[in-house]
Amino acid sequence: MKHITLLLTIILISCKGQNTDTEKHQFTNNLINGTSPYLLQHAHNPVDWNAWNEKTLEKAKKENKLLLISVGYAACHWCHVMEHESFEDSLVAQTMNTNFINVKVDREERPDVDQVYMNAVQLMKGRGGWPLNVIALPDGRPVWGDTYLPKEQWTSTLSQISKLYTEKPEKLIEYASKLEEGIKSIDMVTINANEPVFETTFVESAVKKWSNQFDNTHGGINRDPKFMMPNNYHFLLRHAYQNNDTKLQDYINLTLTKMAYGGVFDHVGGGFSRYSTDIKWHVPHFEKMLYDNGQLVSLYADAYLITKNELYKDVITETLKYVEQEMTAKNGAFYSSLDADSNTPEGKLEEGAFYVWQKENLKTILENDYELFSDYYNINNYGLWEHNNYVLIRKDDDASILKKHNISLETLNKKKNEWKQTLSTIRNKRSKPRLDDKTLTSWNALMLKGYVDAYRVLGDKNYLASAEKNANFILNTQLKKDGGLNHNFKNDTSNINGYLEDYASTIDAFITLYENTLNEKWLNTANDLTKYTFDHFFDEKSSMFYFTSNNDKSLVSRSIEYRDNVIPASNSIMANNLFKLSHYFDDTRFAKTAIIMLNNVKSEMQEYPSGYSNWLNLMLNYAKPFYEVAIVGKDAKQKITDLNKTYIPNKLIAGSVSDNNMPLLENRYTPKETLIYICVNKACKLPVVEVDKAITLIK
């Protein structure tokens, strides 16, 4: 698509230095009545912002004005920077208001809009990010896009494009048509006519290529910035364990340890920030996103199950404590994020202000403990960030600290708890980061699954209670009368139709909840939601699922999201769901579709393995034995609890304490004893009573 970028460059150069005259008008910001915290942040800008809706789009067509679409989210640091520099400036606003219909979009509420225009910017620029700023024709087709721009460059660009649209609109229309073709081709998926062959050699080859990017010093990928990418390491964890690959296991444990040691983990209040700006996981952009923390709890739960590393357990408990205290509503719903920025004592909004410490303050606070604390959390050059601020980061394990300072583990743990309580009390007197208190169904499902996984591994019934409360919130509040889901919830209102990500993540979470409770309500709801996605999202031509429902208004492109990112692609989650549900309900359509979907993306998987980790996870289910574990009898729940003490990623669990007609359970109940059946593709070994014997049959 290089010709697209070149064409736009030539067009803009021809207008360089030309500015449009702007007249002064009285404009109205229309965001004040919205519910999105991000849109409300912009509700008092002098820009005549509008929300993305049919009324706004019709206005652009009626007035024949270009659309200026600015996409961001509440916790985005550079979104705040651009707002302060440009959108709060009355002269910049005058240019925007005179020449454009200005649209503010919360990417978390409208991921469909974000996806279309992000694809456009990546085609034009070869990169993307937020804030995402796009100029489009009145019909919504993009003609220009970029991320953050300084004020002068922003106003100059707007003037050039406005001038061009006034004098030579045919140039932009021609460009828009070419770009539209490119956008529609990005997520196009066709049926792979080759026979589906899923083998371990394919997976091993992909992991080998992937390993060339590994950072074997700091963990993660050998570059910065560093994103946690939980699903990547969850797959690699499974692959390493199932193949007894000790080198890969060491790399995964290095990565998980360094993330837990790093400044990306909040050592005072718990929870992870979104990513690290440097190679050693030290300084984040400080925003805390629900989706990261939900997935990371699941990842660390399985890692703890394998290693019994107390560090991993601490990460789980501290993260969930943070989620409970800061991200949970009374109705059991989870909020979306905490901002990267907060006010300094002088009232200036500054990145990380809530989280950083200065050496002299710490000396005063900690007194005699300062030396030990400063060694443990590196109040030195290793932990120094900027402006004499320190971001707490660990470098040494506890054993090294105990030896160096000649203290016991009990003493160290006691001091750590005291430090956290003291610093937390002081920190909470600071101006807190802004909370994005909207609820998103897909992200809630990821956090719900994290709670279930924590319960499965640690056995804390409070975690299960939180999971069930959230699941009931989704069931009672987000489930519509027609069987579909809503995407958002705020102020007792759900007003955005659900996307595929909402269905995929909720189905996955409900299956996990069923496996740990045996409450068939969750499994049956997962099945019902899956049937709904076939009715409203399925593409018969490719056997993949569109991101948007056929009930939604059409955009420039109706995309199929299939590449895994910081959250697995909605199609990869769906394919994994279909694999499991086909076993539970003996559904041949589910089984066939999962195979076709995996085969469709197979050709891309080895080229860019880290973008297909959830697909690779599914491939392992076909390439190696996958076990159906059916437990029937009055002690079924206890035996599941005992079974879950062993890491077995290649299994699903079906169970009942009474007679049950589910395909995996039918005719297997006996009142006198609880039997465990180990099956592969419906072929079962003789049932056993003891859990350890069942594990032996699997291993």
pLDDT tens-digit series, residues 309-332: 999 999 999 999 999 999 999 999
pLDDT of residue 33: 83
Helical axes 441-458 vs 290-307, angle rounded to 10°: 20
Q: pLDDT for 523-534, tens place per residue?
A: 999 999 999 999
Phi, psi of 654 (to 5 degrees): -125, 140
At residue 551, the pLDDT reads 94
Amino acid letter, residue 614: N
Angstrom distance (rounded) from CA 453 to CA 455: 5
- Which has the minimum average pLDDT: 1-15, 93-107, 250-264, 540-554? 1-15
User: At 58, is the pLDDT very low, low, confident or very high (cuts 50, 70, 90)?
Assistant: very high
Residue 3 predicted with pLDDT over 50: no
Confidence label for 343 from pLDDT (cuts 50, 70 and 90): very high
| Mean of pLDDT values over 481-492 | 96
pLDDT at residue 35, as a whole number:
85
Q: Could you tell me the pLDDT band of residue 25, with boundaries at 50, 70 and 90?
A: very low
Instruction: Write out pLDDT tens, residues 634-659.
Output: 999 999 999 999 999 999 999 999 99
pLDDT of residue 184: 86
Average pLDDT over residues 226-248: 97
Q: Is the pLDDT of residue 21 over 90?
A: no
The pLDDT value given to residue 547 = 97
**Greater model confidence, 491 or 699:** 491
Average pLDDT of every residue of the chain = 94
Q: Which tokens go with 517?
A: 């409770």
Quote the pLDDT of residue 681: 87
pLDDT (tens digit per residue) in 111-157? 999 999 999 999 998 889 999 999 999 999 999 999 999 999 999 99
Give the number of C-alpha atoms closer than 13 A to the C-alpha of residue 690, restricted to the C-beta side. Answer: 4
What gap in Å lies between CA 482 and CA 660, rounded to an integer? 28
SS (HEC) of 51-119: ECCHHHHHHHHHHCCEEEEEEECCCCHHHHHHHHHHHCCHHHHHHHHHHEEEEEEECCCCHHHHHHHHH
Structure confidence at residue 635 (pLDDT):
97
Which one-letter amino acid corresponds to residue 609? P
Place of tokens 């409450």: 519
Residue 13: per-residue pLDDT: 46
pLDDT band at 23 (very low <50, low <70, confident <90, very high): very low
The two beta strands, 66-72 and 100-106, are parallel
Q: Is the pLDDT of residue 187 over 80?
A: no
Q: How confident is the model at residue 580 (pLDDT cuts 50, 70, 90)?
A: very high
Residue 274 and residue 292 in contact, taking contact as beta carbons nearer than 8 Å: yes
pLDDT over 70 for what percent of the chain?
96
Q: Encoding tokens for residue 444?
A: 């809630």
Chain segment 374-433, per-residue pLDDT in tens: 999 999 999 999 999 999 999 999 999 999 999 999 999 999 999 999 999 999 999 999
Euclidean distance between CA atoms 477 and 473, whole angstroms: 6
Query: In the predicted model, what is the mean pLDDT of residues 192-213?
Result: 96
- Model confidence at 190, pLDDT cuts 50, 70, 90, reads confident
Give residue 6's pLDDT.
45
Q: In this structure, what token pair is assigned to residue 34? A: 């919205």
Q: What mean pLDDT is predicted for residues 618-643?
A: 97
pTM, to two decimals: 0.94
Q: Are 275 and 293 in contact (CB under 8 A)?
A: no
Work out the average pLDDT over 168-193: 90
The region of weakest confidence among 11-15, 63-67, 86-90, 230-234 is: 11-15
pLDDT surpassing 50 at residue 8: yes
Amino acid identity, position 173: I
Is the pLDDT confidence value at 19 over 90?
Answer: no
